[in-house]
Amino acid sequence: MFQKIFNKLRLFWQNKISKENLVIPYKLLNDLLFIGLVFLFFMLVGESLLPGIISTRISFSIVIIAILLDILLIKKLANYLGIQKSTEPNKKALIFSAFVFAIFILNSLVNLFRFNILLAIVVFLLVLLTGYSIYKLAFEG
């Protein structure tokens, strides 16, 4: 009985879903990714300004897992639809995000761990050096 129902549903969805109909969910997933990244950005800003105000209510891991699942679905749909994205990075966005990342790290080091400013700068420079090394290994190695 359930086999007949599942077969009918499978045939119905095979006839109804075409590549043209999957473009809309693809675009909606891209919009959801943008909204999720903006939400994560504001979560990080709030957590940076008032440590513990957001992380006690919403787990960062849940938001990051949701964003990663969205990226996975976008990738699968793009492969199925044959959509190619440009792999060229946006230099202005990269510089802006690196600047914001730097402010977050310095603020976290000074506020959360009660480091003096000189030690915070040294740790920050080590984090930047490590990030640059990982970038070189991942994208050019």
Domain boundaries, the chain: 1-85, 87-141
Q: Which of 50, 55, 52 is nearest to 40 (CA)?
A: 55
pLDDT of 118 reads 76
Q: How close are the terminal C-alpha atoms of the chain, in Å?
A: 56
pLDDT of 35: 94
Q: In this predicted structure, what is the pLDDT of residue 112?
A: 62
Least confident of 11-15, 17-21, 116-120, 133-137: 11-15
- Given pLDDT bands bounded at 50, 70 and 90, which one contains residue 129? confident
pLDDT tens digits, residue range 23-80? Answer: 888 899 999 999 998 998 888 888 877 778 887 888 888 888 999 899 889 988 888 8
Q: What is the pTM of this model?
A: 0.58
What tokens appear for 100 in the block? Answer: 């914001």
Contact in structure between 77 and 26 (CB atoms under 8 Å): yes
Burial 59-84 (b: 16+ CB within 10 A, else e): eeeebeeebeebeeebeebeeeeeee
